[in-house]
Each structure stands twice: as C-alpha cells, then as structure tokens.
Amino acid sequence: MFTGIVTDIGEVLALTQEGDLRARIRTGYDTQGIDMGASIASDGVCLTVVDLGPDWYEVQVSAETVDKTNLGAWAVGKRVNLERALRVGDELGGHIVSGHVDGVAEVISVTDEGDSTRVLLRAPADLARFIAPKGSVALNGTSLTVNEVDGADFGINFIPHTKKATTWGDVAVGDRVNLEIDTLARYVARLAEMHEP
C-alpha cells in the first residue's frame, strides 16, 4: 500500500532479460533499511526487491507487468518515481494507492501556465469512466488531482514542487504514463453496476 507521494527519484542502471525482466535501480534510500522482498513503487508499479547493493536495488518484472504498464519502454538512464510502502502511523498525504496499474495513459498536450504546467492525458476508453473532476488518480506513482475531464481526456496541473520532486518536470507529448484509478471510484462504479435494473 502506498500514498502516491514520491519520496525519491531513482535511475535505471541495468536491464536484463532472464525469464522475467530484471531491473537495477539506483536510489537515495538507505538500502540497509530495505528488506529483501520489500515492495517499492517504481513509476507507480509495486515491485518486489530481489537484490540489494549500497545504493541500488533490483526487481523482477513479470511479462504481465511489462504488458500492462510502461515498464517495457524503460531504458538505462531513465529517471523513475519511487515510493517505499506505507507503514502504520505514516502520514497519508496523497490517497490510497495499491501499486497495481490499471492501464497506460498518453500525454497529448503540455502547456506552461505561469510557473505551473497543465498536462492533458488520454486514458484508455475502459478506464475513462473512473476519472472525475476533483477526483484522484495515480500517474507514474504520483497522487494527483484531476482538474477537468472531457470523454477519455483529462487534465492535471503540476505545480513547481511536484515537477522538481518527481519526474513530471521531464514530461513530453507522447509519453506513456502508468495510470492507477482511485480505488474508491472503482468500488463506487461496481456498486452502481450491481444496482442497475
């Protein structure tokens, strides 16, 4: 379980295909405080630590995860949003995020508005109904508030702090972004379906 508050920007150091994709990620986290088997959200994907070094950790990424996320496009040198798993008593500054990506959205426009940046994204058609104005989404592991929705398109405003503390300062048109819809929206929609005549 995560909050969508990114606490480190990692860097992909190595990628190897050995049955599953194996990725080595440099981190600013104290790796002596990371247990083998720990979960770390990496660009919003909950991944299990399988090896550790002084300033890096390694994860294995299944073919299913590669297929359902943007991790298949990772390359050495890519910057990655990181978040350690939530602990009891931690501040819940974002929203409840599982790290189970629902699909991939595409950035269709990027516009500077003062010091902030407005980003328009297109969600997969089957997920668009779960995205609502002033609702929450997790994009590449970042908890964000939706500004507006028009069909499958939705807008997010990135303040300077978010652009600096995450990889969102690097955003470009055409980027494919891991999208996790709000868990509450998922259950509300399911309940509504169950009560339709």
Query: Which tens digit of pLDDT belongs to each residue from 87-139?
Result: 777 777 778 888 999 999 999 999 999 999 999 999 999 999 999 999 999 99
Residues 111 and 37 in one domain: no
Residues 14 and 51 in one domain: yes
**The CATH number of the domain where 142 resides is what?**
2.40.30.20
The answer to whether position 178 is within a domain reads yes
Query: Which tens digit of pLDDT belongs to each residue from 79-100?
Result: 999 999 987 777 777 788 889 9
Q: Model-level pTM?
A: 0.92
The structural domain count of the chain equals 2
The answer to whether position 91 is within a domain reads no
Residues 108 and 38 in one domain: no
Residues 64 and 108 in one domain: no
**Longest alpha-carbon distance in the chain:** 58
Question: Do 13 and 26 meet the contact criterion of CB atoms below 8 Å apart?
Answer: yes
In sign, the C-alpha dihedral spanning 107, 178, 182, 116 is negative
Residues 121 and 184 in one domain: yes
> What is the phi/psi pair of residue 70, to 5°?
-95, 10
Residue ranges making up the domain that contains 65: 8-84
